[in-house]
Structure 1
Amino acid sequence: MLLVPLPRLAILVALPLILAGCAGHGGGNYDETGEASFYGNRHAGKRTASGERYSPNLLTAAHRDLPLGSHARVTNLNNDRSVVVRINDRGPYTRGRIIDLSRKAAEAIGLTRSGTAPVRVQQLD
């Protein structure tokens, strides 16, 4: 029978999980295609996962996995327009979506009229 003190056992179990999470998208290797949408004005002023308040006038986005504070290039595959955004929130929570853009970022790539579009998301840092 293995007798390991509980705190040491917790570290031994948690460490591989933490390291696996850190290795997921580091180093700018995230490059995926999927559906994008944008935040409605009703979210203006609400706190994001980073702690800052959402502003529709900044080039920001929500992503489930990319590190908060990192940057990504988002390219609208319908018109080849792209924008660089800073990840400051978590989401999107709608099935099939990979990124939620601020209104300004959505305008930059021509997304506001359709509301959603196929995009390519590439991590920059």
Structure 2
Amino acid sequence: MTTPFLRYSCVAAMAALLAACSSTPVNKSSKYYLDDGPMKGITQEMVDTLPEPVPRREPLHKGAARPYEVLGRKYMPMTRLEPFRQRGLGSWYGTRYHGKKGSIGEPYDMLQLTAAHPILPLPSYARVTNLENGKSVVVRLNDRGPFLHDRIIDLSYAAAMRLGYAKRGSAKLEVELLLP
């Protein structure tokens, strides 16, 4: 047999729990991971006029060369520029990270031709080719990631648009480190 106080306490706890849940909006209609969608108003013509970065020798960021662990997986970054080629699934990141500092302290700009890679030296440059349509772009690697779904690289939104897969979210890519 329950007392009125116990019933009131249970009702109050349920109300508090429901109120807490309703105060955290979840956009179930978004097709982007964590609502990390594109920037509105950006056209293909705008992206196609962006100049590709020109590979040049830059001092490698010491902090980005240390081994690290994310989501239980260990990564051993490369500490020097040397030939590297990789094929696999690539993705892109957008508005959720726009303006936030990346692994080497530079703010992410989704409208520049940049990328994140888990082990390539930072900063460095790579040619990324969409194996599904043959398009390629040179990007400056200045961040770490991706860390989910066995992706090999995360491109900026502009780079993904240039390669023709921004609307799909991912594509089969080839990454080749460029040596200056």
Following the alignment from structure 1 to structure 2, what is the Cα–Cα distance between the partners of residues 34 and 46? 26
Aligned to 2:99: 45
* More strand by percentage: 1
The number of equivalent residue pairs is 105
Is the Cα contact below 8 Å between 1:28 and 1:122 reproduced in 2?
no
Amino acid at match of 1:75: T
Give aligned-pair identity as a percent: 47
Aligned to 1:104: 158
* CA separation of 1:124 and 1:89: change in aligned 2, threshold 3 A: same
Is the Cα contact below 8 Å between 1:35 and 1:98 reproduced in 2?
yes
Name which of 77, 94, 103 aligns with 2:131.
Answer: 77
Following the alignment from structure 2 to structure 1, what is the Cα–Cα distance between the partners of residues 96 and 108? 10
- The runs of 5 or more residues in structure 2 that have no matched partner are 1-66, 68-75
Following the alignment from structure 2 to structure 1, what is the Cα–Cα distance between the partners of residues 91 and 81? 25
- The runs of 5 or more residues in structure 1 that have no matched partner are 1-17
The structure number with the bigger radius of gyration is 2
Aligned to 2:114: 60
Per-residue Cα deviation, 1:41-68 (whole angstroms, up to 9, x for no partner) = 1110111001011001111000011111
Name which of 130, 136, 147 aligns with 1:93.
Answer: 147
CA RMSD of aligned residues (A): 1.7
Higher relative contact order (CA 8 A, sep 6+): 1
Is the Cα contact below 8 Å between 2:125 and 2:177 reproduced in 1?
yes
Is the Cα contact below 8 Å between 1:92 and 1:98 reproduced in 2?
yes
